[in-house]
């Protein structure tokens, strides 16, 4: 057990630096720090609902414990013959309804906020394939595939030595999705073979990629850095090996990246995978 724990400590501290927010922490109990307004609202909603859930669970446990003792055959040998109590029926119907109404108002607000934003400034299309992601930037005319870099510690160490950079096992990819910070980005998700799901926990987004359908949501990254996600719909043998890496950079750096990508695609030198979309 101790070895197991030490392994995790070492593992997470080793990859800590690659995460935008320092990575997972020891004894972490809550969500990862929010990277988008959507995730901030998700965290706030969680903090609002969780105490209600805990209070209800404690109340039910206390009530059941009390009843089990107070009305046991030993303590209550002559049980009452009551079958109905209208006041009680009304109370235990109305109170849960009120609680649900109180929860549903912020829940619907969050649902609408996170689902759709009419003011998105650019679009990215994420296409799930067995087992990697393809990305298209229709506004900029670029497209590329994104594959996982290393699956085992040995592979990652090897890569680290080669590039002098730390690589996150099972999460780092050769071509991350690059986005500008403080821009509302529409993400359209679809798939080429089976159902996949584009999910980035720090962004508070998860949207299924379904073949033949295009579904969209949006996000706006607040701080620069690299954020990770994984395919979140079981899609076959290598489902666990098609990570998502989003690199949020300043607008200037983003434009530079777009230019480089386009140049590389037209020269067809460095980035073999990049293709220019006909626009």
CB 190 within 8 A of CB 125: yes
Encoded tokens for 132:
């990697």
Cis amide bond preceding 131, omega within 30: yes
CA–centroid distance for 239 within its chain: 16
Instruction: Please tell me whether residue 202 binds Cu ion under the rule CB under 5 A.
Output: no
Binding-residue total with Cu ion (CB under 5 A): 4
Which of 114, 129, 127 lies closest to 42, judged by CA?
114
Tell me whether residue 135 or residue 254 sits nearer to Cu ion (CB atom).
135
Nearest to 242 by CA among 278, 194, 184, 204: 194
Cα(62)–Cα(97) distance, integer angstroms: 21
Q: Which is nearer to Cu ion, 122 or 194 (CB)?
A: 194
Can you tell me which of 231, 244, 249, 274 binds Cu ion, judged by CB under 5 A? 231
Nearer to Cu ion, 37 or 243 (CB): 243
Considering only the stretches 39-47, 107-115, 152-160, 189-197, report the one whose residues sit in contact with Cu ion under the rule CB under 5 A.
189-197
Place of tokens 């220019």: 276
Cβ at position 128, least distance to Cu ion in Å: 5
Output Rg (C-alpha) for the chain, integer angstroms: 25
Choosing from 34, 168, 185, 235, the residue that interacts with Cu ion (CB under 5 A) is: 235
Task: Say whether residue 42 binds Cu ion (CB under 5 A).
Answer: no
Residues 83-122 that bind Cu ion (CB under 5 A): none
196 binds Cu ion (CB under 5 A): yes
CA 59/CA 67 separation, integer angstroms: 12
Give the whole-angstrom CA distance, residue 231 versus residue 241: 8
Nearest residue (CB) to Cu ion, 34 versus 231: 231
Q: Which of residues 238-267 bind Cu ion (CB under 5 A)?
A: 239
Q: Which two tokens stand for residue 179?
A: 């986005």
**Nearest distance from C-beta of residue 162 to Cu ion, angstroms:** 28
For Cu ion, the closer CB: 129 or 260: 129
Q: Which positions touch Cu ion (CB under 5 A)?
A: 196, 231, 235, 239
């Amino acid at each position: 057990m101790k070895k197991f724990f030490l392994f995790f400590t070492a593992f997470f501290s080793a990859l800590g630096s690659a995460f935008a927010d320092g990575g997972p922490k020891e004894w972490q109990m809550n969500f990862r720090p929010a990277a988008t307004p959507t995730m901030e609202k998700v965290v706030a909603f969680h903090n609002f609902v969780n105490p209600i859930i805990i209070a209800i669970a404690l109340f039910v446990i206390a009530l059941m414990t009390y009843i089990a003792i107070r009305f046991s055959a030993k303590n209550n040998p002559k049980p009452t013959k009551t079958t109905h109590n209208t006041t009680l029926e009304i109370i235990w119907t109305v109170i849960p309804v009120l609680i649900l109404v109180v929860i549903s108002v912020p829940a619907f607000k969050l649902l609408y906020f996170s689902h759709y934003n009419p003011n998105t400034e650019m679009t990215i299309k994420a296409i799930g394939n067995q087992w990697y992601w393809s990305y298209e930037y229709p506004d900029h005319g670029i497209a590329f595939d994104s594959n996982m870099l290393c699956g085992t510690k040995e592979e990652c160490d090897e890569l680290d030595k080669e590039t002098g950079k730390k690589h996150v096992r099972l999460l780092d990819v050769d071509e991350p999705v690059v986005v500008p910070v403080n821009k509302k980005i529409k993400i359209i998700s679809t798939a080429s073979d089976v159902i996949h799901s584009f999910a980035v926990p720090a962004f508070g987004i998860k949207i299924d990629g379904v073949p033949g359908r295009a579904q969209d949501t949006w996000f706006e990254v607040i701080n620069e850095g690299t954020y990770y996600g994984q395919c979140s719909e079981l899609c076959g043998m290598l489902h666990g090996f098609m990570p998502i890496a989003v690199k949020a950079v300043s607008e200037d750096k983003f434009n530079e990246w777009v230019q480089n990508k386009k140049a590389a695609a037209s020269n067809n030198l460095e980035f073999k995978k990049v293709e220019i979309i006909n626009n």
